[in-house]
Structure 1
Amino acid sequence: MNRQTLRPWERIRNSADFTRCFKAGKRKRLPGLTVVYAPNSRGYRRIGLSVGRRIGPAVKRNRVKRILREIFRRNKTIFPDGYDFVFVPREDFLEIKWEEHIRHLRDAFYSS
């Protein structure tokens, strides 16, 4: 059964994990979004968000974070197990439709 909930252990919260991912990880640049990913020592996938102030005011940044968490939660099977994924959105993230983001992520990771 595919659980569509986002469990607490599926989030990257530790700054050391973010640093490891940014230093040792690979990057995929998608329209409006950069995904940094690195293998982890766990058997499951995790998500981290890095939304900078250049995105806009706090309301806009929080909306971007909610959208990214929801995309990850609903489409976990796109991402391979055993990897940490850090999403770094760009200024034009909200200009791209939700379905387009999912299609780009599927093209980038599902076949990998």
Structure 2
Amino acid sequence: MTIRQGPRRRHQSMFLRVSREIEKVKRHGHRVSTHFFNLLFFRKSDSISQVGIVVGRRFGIAVRRNRAKRIFRELVRETHKDLAPGYALLVFPKRDAIMEPFDDLKTAWLGSLRKQRLLESKPL
């Protein structure tokens, strides 16, 4: 029997879900802070980069937590192809992030990644 992978299975490898790896990034990662999110990143290997999104209960009610996760998952999907390989990243959205336009969040996200050299440089 062959198991077919639906469209949702394609994106699972880009997200960091193993708690042991998340804890490793929390302990050893480098922190970057912006007005909209905190970012921790850790060099792991030459494999595909993965991003975890962490939204705790202090963020607010479940509707807001879920909205923040949806917004940042979409940011990851749009920019994952440009991430430098071999990193584990954790994003901790801030409360103000869900009120901002998506383009402003994307600009802050890309700016933070560029500043930390987490984006691959594209040849012209």
Normalising by structure 2, report the TM-score: 0.78
Which deviates more from structure 2 when the two are superposed, residues 66-75 or residues 89-98? 89-98
Kindly indicate whether residue 43 of structure 2 is the aligned counterpart of residue 36 of structure 1.
Answer: no
Structure 2 letter corresponding to 1:68: F
Structure 2 letter corresponding to 1:27: R
Identity rate, percent? 24
Q: Is the 8 A contact 1:27 1:36 kept in 2?
A: yes
Kindly indicate whether residue 19 of structure 2 is the aligned counterpart of residue 19 of structure 1.
Answer: no
Kindly indicate whether residue 94 of structure 2 is the aligned counterpart of residue 90 of structure 1.
Answer: yes
Give the unaligned 5+ runs of structure 2.
1-8, 118-124
Structure 2 letter corresponding to 1:99: D
SS at match of 2:88: strand
Kindly indicate whether residue 111 of structure 2 is the aligned counterpart of residue 107 of structure 1.
Answer: yes
Structure 2 letter corresponding to 1:37: F
Greater RCO (Cα-Cα under 8 Å, separation 6 or more): 1
Shift of 1:15: 1.0
SS at match of 1:7: helix
Distance in structure 2 (CA, Å) of the matches to 1:42 and 1:55: 33
Q: Is the 8 A contact 1:18 1:86 kept in 2?
A: yes
Q: Is the 8 A contact 1:80 1:109 kept in 2?
A: no
Q: Is the 8 A contact 1:11 1:46 kept in 2?
A: yes
Shift of 1:76: 1.6
Give the unaligned 5+ runs of structure 1.
none
Shift of 1:16: 0.8
Aligned length: 108
Normalising by structure 1, report the TM-score: 0.86
Greater radius of gyration (CA): 2
- Aligned with 1:62 (options 56, 59, 66): 66
For 1:66-107, what per-residue CA distance to the aligned partner results, in whole angstroms no more than 9, with x for missing partners?
A: 110001101124432111111101121112221111111211
